[in-house]
Chains A and B, each alone.
Chain A
Amino acid sequence: MSTPILEARSVTKRFGGLTANEDVSLKLDGPPGQVVSVIGPNGAGKSTFFKMLSGFLKPSSGQVLLHGQDITGMPPHRIAKLGLVRTFQETTIFPDLTAMEHVSLAHQLHREASDLEVVLGLPRARGDEQRLGASARDILELMELGSAADTAARHLPQGLLRLLGIAMGLAARPQVLLLDEPYAGLNPEETNRAVAITRKVAASGVSVLLVEHDMKAVMAISDRIHVLYFGKKIAEGTPEQIRSDPKVIEAYLGQEDEELGL
């Protein structure tokens, strides 16, 4: 059997007396380019789990493996270098920089010039700017942000900013992209567009793991779904299996059926 792309083995996180994640395991195997979602009611420990996968939190116990390599407790920038990158909901870092400049900056891992060459403006640094600029344009095209490339971030609407956040994640050229609630706060039209673009990203060979509240979007896009409830994983399967899983229905009991997409 081939090594899974990403694997979490019995990951547990305790904050003092509170157990945010208990014994959560997840395997991302099969061909690259799948979309896998982690869902669960508020407070289920989804964000904690995400932070542990991407290195922003260190698990109390358990292991995270990327292509079989143990990345547990590594700093995020090293995990990013190994091919796992997470995005944030808050994406604007420079209100006055353009979309293009954001993505070009996020190519940090792929510049060739040293810091000294950058400061002195030597040929290799100038070459970097050209090469990374071209790559940034390609990514913006993929994200359907081409027409916004030269717009300053502060003039971009929420929906496009969210896509810009994903574009910045792609600039690190990951094999696994972790999206943190990519559709939260978007209107249905923006959500449809973002879902279609997420599919395109996956089709380009990047495995996508996402945490999301919008059930309709999750059901529509996911190849596989993992359900967390009070820090524990209670179910895993295809959207059809999840939809009819009695434990999941119980966990979501009292919530609108519509939210589960029933």
Chain B
Amino acid sequence: MNPLKKRDLAIALAFLAVLAVLPLALGGSRYLLSVLMNCAGLSLIAFGVWITFTIGRINICQAGFALIGGYTTGIVLSRYGLSFWVALPLSALVSALLGAVVGSFILKLRGIYFSMLTICLTEAIRLAFLNGGDFTQGSKGITGLPQPFGGDSALPMYYLSIVLLGLGLWVTWRVHYSRLGRIFRAMRLNEDLAESFGTNVWRYRVTAFAIACALGGLGGSYFAVFTQSVYPQSFTVEHSIYYMLFCFLGGLEFVSGAMIGAFALTILFELLSQFQQYQTLIYGVLMIGVILLLPNGLMAIRAAKEARS
């Protein structure tokens, strides 16, 4: 196994192990658990953005697909009274299918053009739900969604979030470190060469995007039951940009990068909660700083040191 992959695996497993035993140490503090649950959900969504980075596209519509997943769950639970265990995979599926349809048109674009279009897409999806009439309840949103677990303890919900985080990590890991991930990289580095040995570049781009959207939908569905509600404002352009920042901060060379970035930034902001109103400003400065000083993210710091020595 190549040493970078080994390190990635070690970090990912250690991280999940810590998350699994942490509630014992925290003694069931609802606040601390909810911070971690928030981080886990955000990581899940950010994995999708990370996958679209591997095909060389900067995806700023992930919040839109999380919103689609959230509303799918909200509608299925409130209107049809189905179980969350049906709604969860269904949300991922709906997001993936819509992602595949939209992606097959917009993935021809690259660079700044793709990014601009995806920003607009996040906004368009938000507006669609805002103006969805009775079906989506407009700006009132869908509230009072039941949680999948009864009882007082937050622990079952916490472990659900960790299981979903593990699932997202596993999917991203399997995609990236398999033949599929190598094809994605080949397309990013030299599209013509990949096509010359028979790769249907268009099909693989749509596949990557659909996987990304499925992860977004899964995360949206999880947040809908975690917060027991979904509003058009639940996932906006701002969130899309945060997911991208999580990937930058964690690093694009490691699958665990998106997760590390999401936890690091979200926890940092819980600690600095009195500066909450400056969050966007600080994120902006941070993004510029990360791109200038840490182009490969936090996880590459050690690798860079080793390369220098």
Q: A77-B195, A81-B198, A88-B192 are in contact. Are A121 and B207 (CB under 8 A)?
A: no
Contacting residues, chain B, for A108 (C-beta < 8 A): 183, 197-199
Question: Is A77 a contact of B207 with CB atoms below 8 Å?
Answer: no
Question: Is A77 a contact of B199 with CB atoms below 8 Å?
Answer: yes
Question: Is B198 a contact of A118 with CB atoms below 8 Å?
Answer: no
Quick check: is A18 within 8 A (CB to CB) of the other chain?
no
Taken together as a complex, chains A and B put the C-alpha atoms of A19 and B309 apart, in Å, by 55
Q: Which chain A residues in 105-146 approach chain B with CB under 8 Å?
A: 105-109, 111, 115, 118-121, 125, 128-129
Contact mask B199-214 → A, CB, 8 Å, 1/0?
1110000010000000
- Among residues of B, the one whose C-beta sits closest to the C-beta of A88 is B193
Which of B180, B186, B196 meets A115, CB within 8 Å? B180
Contacting residues, chain B, for A101 (C-beta < 8 A): 182
Quick check: is A90 within 8 A (CB to CB) of the other chain?
yes
Question: Is B171 a contact of A172 with CB atoms below 8 Å?
Answer: no
Q: How many residues of A contact B (CB 8 A)?
A: 36
- Among residues of A, the one whose C-beta sits closest to the C-beta of B2 is A96
Quick check: is B13 within 8 A (CB to CB) of the other chain?
no
Quick check: is A54 within 8 A (CB to CB) of the other chain?
yes
Taken together as a complex, chains A and B put the C-alpha atoms of A172 and B193 apart, in Å, by 12
Question: Is A172 a contact of B186 with CB atoms below 8 Å?
Answer: no
Contacting residues, chain B, for A109 (C-beta < 8 A): 197-198
Taken together as a complex, chains A and B put the C-alpha atoms of A56 and B196 apart, in Å, by 9
Contact mask B274-296 → A, CB, 8 Å, 1/0?
00000000000000000000000
Which of A56, A96, A105, A111 meets B186, CB within 8 Å? A105
Quick check: is A86 within 8 A (CB to CB) of the other chain?
yes
Quick check: is A85 within 8 A (CB to CB) of the other chain?
yes
- Among residues of B, the one whose C-beta sits closest to the C-beta of A132 is B179
Q: A93-B189, A93-B190, A94-B185 are in contact. Are A118 and B179 (CB under 8 A)?
A: yes
Q: A111-B179, A119-B175, A120-B174 are in contact. Are A93 and B193 (CB under 8 A)?
A: yes
Question: Is B195 a contact of A76 with CB atoms below 8 Å?
Answer: yes
Contacting residues, chain A, for B171 (C-beta < 8 A): 119
Quick check: is B153 within 8 A (CB to CB) of the other chain?
no
Question: Is B179 a contact of A125 with CB atoms below 8 Å?
Answer: yes
Q: A93-B190, A94-B186 are in contact. Are A80 and B179 (CB under 8 A)?
A: no
A105 shortest CB reach to chain B, Å: 5
Q: Which chain A residues in 47-100 approach chain B with CB under 8 Å?
A: 54, 56, 75-77, 80-81, 85-88, 90-91, 93-94, 96-97
Taken together as a complex, chains A and B put the C-alpha atoms of A56 and B190 apart, in Å, by 14
Taken together as a complex, chains A and B put the C-alpha atoms of A94 and B180 apart, in Å, by 14
B67 shortest CB reach to chain A, Å: 25
Question: Is B192 a contact of A119 with CB atoms below 8 Å?
Answer: no
Question: Is B193 a contact of A90 with CB atoms below 8 Å?
Answer: yes
Q: Which chain B residues in 104-152 approach chain A with CB under 8 Å?
A: none
Contacting residues, chain A, for B174 (C-beta < 8 A): 119-121
How many residue pairs, one in A and one in B, have C-beta atoms under 8 Å apart? 80
Contact mask A138-170 → B, CB, 8 Å, 1/0?
000000000000000000000000000000110
Which of B178, B186, B196, B200 meets A85, CB within 8 Å? B196
Taken together as a complex, chains A and B put the C-alpha atoms of A37 and B185 apart, in Å, by 33
Taken together as a complex, chains A and B put the C-alpha atoms of A246 and B23 apart, in Å, by 88
Contacting residues, chain A, for B186 (C-beta < 8 A): 93-94, 105
Quick check: is A171 within 8 A (CB to CB) of the other chain?
yes
Taken together as a complex, chains A and B put the C-alpha atoms of A8 and B185 apart, in Å, by 34
Contacting residues, chain B, for A86 (C-beta < 8 A): 196
Taken together as a complex, chains A and B put the C-alpha atoms of A166 and B193 apart, in Å, by 12
For B179, B190, B197, B201, the residue with the greatest tally of chain A CB atoms inside 10 Å of its CB is B197
Question: Is A77 a contact of B201 with CB atoms below 8 Å?
Answer: yes
Q: Which chain A residues in 2-56 approach chain B with CB under 8 Å?
A: 54, 56
A93 shortest CB reach to chain B, Å: 5
Contacting residues, chain B, for A168 (C-beta < 8 A): 193, 197
Question: Is B197 a contact of A56 with CB atoms below 8 Å?
Answer: no
Which of B179, B185, B194 meets A129, CB within 8 Å? B179
Contacting residues, chain B, for A172 (C-beta < 8 A): 196-198
Question: Is B192 a contact of A75 with CB atoms below 8 Å?
Answer: no
Contacting residues, chain B, for A81 (C-beta < 8 A): 198
Contacting residues, chain B, for A88 (C-beta < 8 A): 190, 192-193, 196
Question: Is B178 a contact of A118 with CB atoms below 8 Å?
Answer: yes
Q: A80-B196, A96-B2, A119-B174 are in contact. Are A90 and B180 (CB under 8 A)?
A: no
Question: Is A54 a contact of B196 with CB atoms below 8 Å?
Answer: yes
Question: Is B196 a contact of A87 with CB atoms below 8 Å?
Answer: yes
Contacting residues, chain B, for A76 (C-beta < 8 A): 192, 195-196
Question: Is A171 a contact of B197 with CB atoms below 8 Å?
Answer: yes
Taken together as a complex, chains A and B put the C-alpha atoms of A16 and B179 apart, in Å, by 41
* Closest 8 pairs (CB-CB, A-B): A109-B198, A80-B198, A106-B197, A76-B195, A172-B197, A119-B174, A77-B200, A108-B198
8 CB contacts below 8 A, A to B, read A85-B197, A96-B2, A105-B183, A108-B183, A119-B178, A121-B174, A169-B197, A172-B197
Given contacts A76-B196, A105-B186, 9 further A-B contacts (CB under 8 A): A75-B195, A77-B201, A81-B198, A91-B193, A93-B190, A101-B182, A105-B179, A121-B178, A128-B179
